[in-house]
Amino acid sequence: MLKKRIIPCLDIKDGRTVKGVNFVDLRDAGDPVELAEIYSREGADELVFLDISATEQKRKTLAELVYHVAEKVNIPFTVGGGISSVEDVDILLKNGADKVSINSSAVKNPQLINDLVAKFGSQCIVVAIDAKQIDGRWIVHLVGGKVPTEIELFSWAKEVEERGAGEILFTSMDHDGTKNGFANDTLARLSSALNIPIIASGGAGNMQHFEDAFKEGKADAALAASVFHFKEIPIKDLKEKLRANGIPVRL
């Protein structure tokens, strides 16, 4: 059985790690290079590095910072933010990223997914989807959650898979930063509809929430930020609890 993955997320703004609630009210959470090194040492399975203001500010992800993070870690490392071309991905991979995450650029130009998969392979391409419920429908949002679209989550996720993406990082904007648990019903629906891995994001507040994401949400990986950044949940303790409760994880 494939091991379930625990993934700390480094949301980067102006070179610092930040964390907010429902995508707003950001506060400083530390130096990304230092945090990445700690997580790699403490047993994280992967890292995700998202330059959250790159798209809004219409600039590229900080390739130099990616290089310094990659120097310090020995686990897979996914980078997103401001990526809109094959050339962007090439630069990030050359600077040490193992995978890239695209979001707004994929919605605006779905062919980009196909182009990146053709050039770099499915295993390298993660499509991030930020969505929130509006009138009972899960609606995709762009530009760090600031811009709603007319696109519905499940149809977009299916298209992303058909275009060759290797996995989906789904963030429930309604759950983000609330520490009330992941959107497990929605995760389970995504997981049953798709054949590629789903990373759960948004809502982690305690160890039970991770267990629920795997058992109820059928997620392949669970991503969190503040509970790790502010040392509320040690990764080693989390993994030991998950394994004790029958969830296959790598210790």
What are 11-21's pLDDT values in tens digits?
A: 877 766 665 54
Per-residue pLDDT at 54 exceeds 60: no
The Cα–Cα gap between 92 and 18 comes to: 21
Quickly state the pLDDT bin for 184 (edges 50, 70, 90). very high
Q: Which residue carries 């795997």 as its tokens?
A: 214
Amino acid 29: pLDDT: 56
Reduce the secondary structure of 65-98 to three states and give it as a string: HHHHHHHHCCCCEEEECCCCCHHHHHHHHHCCCC
pLDDT recorded at residue 59:
45
Rg of the chain's alpha carbons, rounded to an integer? 16
Length in residues, the chain: 251
Task: State residue 53's pLDDT score.
Answer: 61
| CA distance linking residue 67 with residue 164, whole number of Å | 27
Maximum Cα interatomic distance, the chain, rounded to a whole number of Å:
46
Question: Crossing angle of helices 86-94/111-120, nearest 10°?
Answer: 40
Q: Is the pLDDT of residue 220 over 70?
A: yes
pLDDT of res. 57: 45
Give the count of alpha carbons within 13 A of 150, CB side only: 0
Answer whether 212's CB lies under 8 Å from 206's CB.
no
Predicted confidence at residue 17, as pLDDT, reads 67
Confidence check: pLDDT of 166 > 90: yes
Express each pLDDT in 192-217 by its tens digit: 999 999 999 999 999 999 999 999 99
Residue 122, Cβ density class (10 Å: 0-12 exposed, 13-18 middle, ≥19 buried): middle
At residue 210's C-alpha, the angle toward residues 205 and 214, to 5°, is 150
Q: What pLDDT shows up at residue 230?
A: 82
pLDDT digits (tens, 9 = 90+) for 224-250: 988 998 889 999 999 999 999 999 999
Q: Per DSSP, which regions of 153-196 are E strands?
A: 167-172
For residue 226, give the nearest of 198, 251, 202 by alpha carbon.
202
Q: Is the pLDDT of residue 9 over 60?
A: yes
Model confidence pLDDT, tens digit, residues 74-99 = 999 999 988 999 999 999 999 999 99
Name every residue whose Cβ is closer than 8 Å to that of residue 173 and which is 6 or more positions away in sequence: 22, 23, 130, 131, 132, 141, 145, 202
Show which residues are catalytic. Answer: 11, 130
Domains (range + CATH), the chain: 5-244 (3.20.20.70)
Better-scored residue on pLDDT, 60 or 90: 90
Q: CA geometry: angle at 202 spanning 238 and 25, to 5°?
A: 115
Q: What's the helix, strand, coil split of the chain in %, to 5?
A: 35, 30, 35
Reported as type and span, the H/E element at residue 10 is strand 5-13
- How far is 144 from 46, CA to CA, in rounded Å? 22
Q: Report pLDDT for 27.
A: 53
Give the tens place of pLDDT for each residue, 112-161: 999 999 999 999 999 999 999 999 999 999 977 789 999 999 999 999 99
